[in-house]
A and B are shown apart, each in its own frame.
Chain A
Amino acid sequence: MTGARRNSFDVAVIGAGMAGMAASLFAAERGLSCIQIGSGGGILFASGLLDLLGVHPVAERCLWRSPYAALAALARDEPLHPLARVDAPSIRAAFATFVTALGAAGLAYAPLGEQNRNVLTAIGTTKTTFGVPRAMVAGADLLDAPDARPPCLLVDFRGLREFSARQIAATLGRSWPGLRHQRIEFPGSGAAPELYAAHLARALETAETRANTIALVQPLLGDARAVGFPAVLGLARAGEVHAAFEAGLGVPVFEIPTMPTSVPGLRLLRALEAAVSTRGVRRRHQASVRALAFDADDATIELDGVPGGERVHARAVVLATGRFTGRGLTADRDAVRESILGLPVEQPSAREGWHQRDFLAPSGHAINRAGLRTDEAWRPLGASGKPAWLRLYAVGSILAHQDWMRSKCGSGLAIATAWAAMEQVARALRGTAAG
């Protein structure tokens, strides 16, 4: 199935956020030729943490230690939820494949267990998540410590405006008396009033800056059994930088994600781009879809944003275009629309019902559960209630009946549905001749 012509592919994935990347990766892993269309800008807003399912039911704000137990409860309570339609073995396989690919691309994750983990956020809350980058896991180990949380030092840099170690320590102070904070000058920053995380991350890839930073932190260690930093410990060579900090300080070192767009988001984007590119996925990251037409056995995609335009053919198409931020959905004053094909969107009847008056209302906003309905095989339904095309699939956050922001299941939704849909794609294409 790999004998695609230059502009003819087994699969076209539209979208390059988490779901689009996962779909492209899984397509390549299954030996399908794949073209990916669209930019990965959305991943820059990611924290690097891979949620699976943290909260269910959202209205009760129940946090789960075991994501798989939460998934079982979800399947019982919300059978239409996309994650309720993927079995646990598939989810395990999808996450393992995804994380292994990231590791091979230089972004190491802690081994995936059966439990959710808790990590610190930049405002001093704790976030329940599942896949934790290697560079953040020491913090999760402290938070999830069975007994009293051990002494820990948080360090920040003057000028890194949206990250205050003092804020985190103060906010957690009551539940973690041994949490201390120190502010240092970033070596070589002079008197710069504003520092940017990505600049610091690059600077720490030079041995000298790294050594100078470690030397500034060393005398502050005291009884600390671990040291937390804002997530600036290297970019392309983050693993090496993190290891050097742990060696230099002699205690576990962990990062706390900063406000987006953050260095962990940048690392994730780079790793995913590398992972799909090395697997032969053709990427058109500047392009957007101008037109998408189907005939019996083939989709024709006209691209904008490519010099001279481009037309590609695919035997299957995966919509991973995301929601409003990703532009997969657009809304005017009257209704929500699917952007590329105008597919029917499951949605509240009027705008007054889109959002609650309380931003943090426990049950969440109805608009966030709007999206595409699909059949059993992840094919979005057309106006007739039947699949819009026999090999058009939809994955990720564009799907209806989920609220990933409240359920803490964004990555899980992307990875699991991409896996499940690609299984359907492979099955469908197996029965047809290669293009």
Chain B
Amino acid sequence: MIVLNVGTPFTTKLYGCKCFHGIAHPGVLTPTPGARVSQINSAQAVLNFPTFIQTQVLIIGGGVTGTALARDLAMRGVACILVEKDDIDSGASGRNHGLLHSGARYVAGDREAAKECRAEGEILKRMAAQTIEDTGGYFVAVQGDDERYIADFPSCCDQAGISARAVDVAMARALEPALSERAIAVFEVPDAAIDPFRLSLESMAHARSLGARLLRRARVVGFEREGRRIRAVRVRSRAGGEEFRIEAAQVVNAAGAWAREVALLAGAPIEMTYSKGTLLVTHARLAGRVVNRLRPPANADIMMPGGTVSIVGTTSTRVDALDDIYPTTAEADLIVAEAARMLPALETTRFIRAYAGVRPLLGAAGSGDGRSASRGFALFDHEAQGLDNLATITGGKLTTCRLMAERAADLVCRRLGVTRPCLTATAPLPVAPECAWTEPGRSAREWMRSHGQHDTLLCECEMVSGSAVDAIYATLRASGDTPTLRDIGLRSRVGKGACQGSFCAMRTVAHLYNRGDFQARRGLAEIVDFFGERWRGQRAVLWGEQLAQAELMEALHCGLFGEELRAEALRDTGMPAAQCADPEEELPS
């Protein structure tokens, strides 16, 4: 993995002073060492989209790795642009259980991965403490589980340097009453919960404060090659469909599960397989700690604390395509039945939502469900494939995202001749107030502490105020974006309570109209989009109380508002649905 040393100072240029969403913004990067900012090209300023952009490093993919990489590079003084086809953490980064691994999960199968997790977990607990709830974790065996695995567990942990303390079962059940009375062994490990959204949003916010730039909803559609180099990357904006070119000295493919597609586009194919995982979200939090099943990795072997809820999973199914990934009823049933053996309350608890993500796994397709495939990561330099300025970083897991970014940044910096070392293992991630609204309970605390006289509470379940929405909106607008209701949902607790947005999302739309942010029929389209997306997650867990909640939601959106009669019409003329003929006219056949 030897890299070229380009060794020349790089110029960052931004042409076209309007971003591709047509919103004026400064379009200027903060000058950084080795980078010079050009004047805006006035000829192109009249266009509503940039025709091309120059930068040192182009990062493809805004998940935990891509955003950590943007921050790492920015801290080393390297100018970079991150393009993301959707939004921050919209792939596997935002669709996992939010576990900061102690490494104990991997001690029996992959000791190196276990050690890596332990080391990285310790770093993140120090450097990104605001994104972590250091809950600790239990590994719990129940009657019928493999006695030998149980017996070997403490020494395996010991060999990987992971603390695993045996806990008296009665004591463990006193501390975590949700545990089954059929529990036979419990070990305590330093697992923790991490909020990947906040991690990525704050990494990106820090990177941006150092000059990095984020282009959301911009999909890479092509590479222009010239000899052993990628001369430019062609990117298409999802909103307007305009295409533009980005010229970068180095390109990093951090597209997660989409890394294979991106590499293929660049003419440098890599071997990857996909494993779909589904998780369920409970209505209330059932345990303080992470609760793992003490057995070899299998379905439904973990329940994570996620703020005010618990997250139960996962499944692992090989899939061939990345589109159309959604949780199924069969997966939900499997998770409930299996996890209930360790946590019986799951048989009767209320679930509010499910979600599914695709894990990018390394290596060629083989047999099995993907669990035996490596959860390690790989950095491809693509030099053997005839490319000197492309790297792909993929595989891995949430816990190791910082390390993955460090390795990719090291390669890129060697190629660029940048000698500054990685700082992310030693410099704490700055708290960015506008990124903290994903934290459960934070809105409530802020509200109690400081709400202004005219500040309105938009969500009573999660205590989201009008000023919180305003802050999120303003941050997005400042980067030239047109914020959507879904964007606000991703960056706050809007839509995350038991009502799944029935009230708060509607109030948020009204609020944005009142501010003049939404105009014409925009709100209707946003409502349809937001609840359509929420629905995908609810559908698999609609029984019991949550089915009644869904019925109420449909009674409102369809029974009263008739959104289904407008949904399609919205996309074209804005005309209402067909008016059927009365008998004096012509009856519909």
Contact = CB atoms under 8 A, between A and B. Distances in A.
A175 B569 CA distance: 14
B579 A62 contact: yes
A357 B532 CA distance: 9
Contacts of B458: 161
B588 A121 contact: no
Contact of A358 (B330, B507, B532): B532
A171 B544 CA distance: 36
B514 A164 contact: yes
Classify the interface of chain A: helix, strand, loop or mixed: loop
B328 interface: yes
Interface in B549-589: 550-552, 554-568, 574, 576-580, 582-583, 587-588
Contact of A406 (B503, B518, B558, B574): B558
B539 A355 contact: yes
Interface string B443-461: 0000000010111111000
A223 interface: no
Interface in B308-362: 326, 328-330, 332-333, 336
Nearest to A124: B524
Contact of B336 (A64, A162, A333): A333
Contacts of A218: none
Contact of A167 (B523, B543, B548, B567): B523
A161 B506 CA distance: 9
B57 to A, nearest CB: 39
Contact of A193 (B456, B528, B577, B587): B456
Interface stretch (A66-74, A78-86, A235-243): A66-74
Interface string A128-168: 10000000000000000000000000000001011110110
Q: Which of A331, A359, A405 has the most CB of B within 10 A?
A: A359
B312 to A, nearest CB: 14
A161 B527 contact: no
A170 B519 contact: yes
A324 B507 CA distance: 26
Given A45-B555, A69-B582, A161 B510 contact: yes
Interface in B514-530: 514, 518-521, 523-524, 527-528
B536 interface: yes
B562 A259 contact: no
Interface in A272-327: 323-325, 327
A194 B447 CA distance: 14
A123 B564 contact: no
Contacts of B201: none
B588 A60 contact: yes
A410 B326 CA distance: 32
A325 B552 contact: yes
Contacts of B451: 193
Contacts of B513: 164, 166-167, 170
Contacts of A127: 560-562
Contacts of B576: 63, 126
Contact of A173 (B332, B520, B579, B582): B520
A72 B583 CA distance: 10
Given A123-B523, A124-B524, A357-B536, A408 B503 contact: no
Interface in A337-390: 350-352, 354-355, 357-362, 365, 367-368
A126 B556 CA distance: 13
Contacts of B542: 331, 351, 354-355, 367
B311 to A, nearest CB: 19
A174 interface: yes
B457 A194 contact: yes
A260 interface: yes
A161 B454 CA distance: 12
Nearest to B506: A162
A300 to B, nearest CB: 29
A402 interface: no
A149 B539 CA distance: 41
Given A125-B566, A193-B454, A47 B560 contact: yes
Contacts of A45: 552, 555
Contact of A405 (B510, B535, B555): B555
B523 A124 contact: yes
Contacts of B518: 167, 170
B321 to A, nearest CB: 16
Interface in A11-66: 45, 47, 55-57, 60-66
Given A193-B455, A330-B544, A55 B520 contact: no
B377 interface: no
A65 B578 CA distance: 11
B509 A406 contact: no
B578 A61 contact: yes
Nearest to A121: B561
A163 B456 CA distance: 13
Given A167-B518, A193-B457, A359-B532, A73 B588 contact: yes
Interface in A75-99: none
Contact of A360 (B523, B556, B563, B587): B563
A18 to B, nearest CB: 12
10 contacts: A61-B578, A121-B561, A123-B506, A124-B524, A125-B566, A170-B519, A325-B555, A367-B542, A405-B558, A405-B559
Interface of B: 326, 328-330, 332-333, 336, 451, 453-458, 503, 506-507, 509-511, 513-514, 518-521, 523-524, 527-528, 531-532, 534-536, 539, 542-544, 547-548, 550-552, 554-568, 574, 576-580, 582-583, 587-588
Q: Would you list the 8 A-B pairs with minimal beta carbon distance, nearest first? A: A62-B580, A359-B535, A164-B510, A167-B513, A360-B564, A61-B577, A405-B559, A324-B548
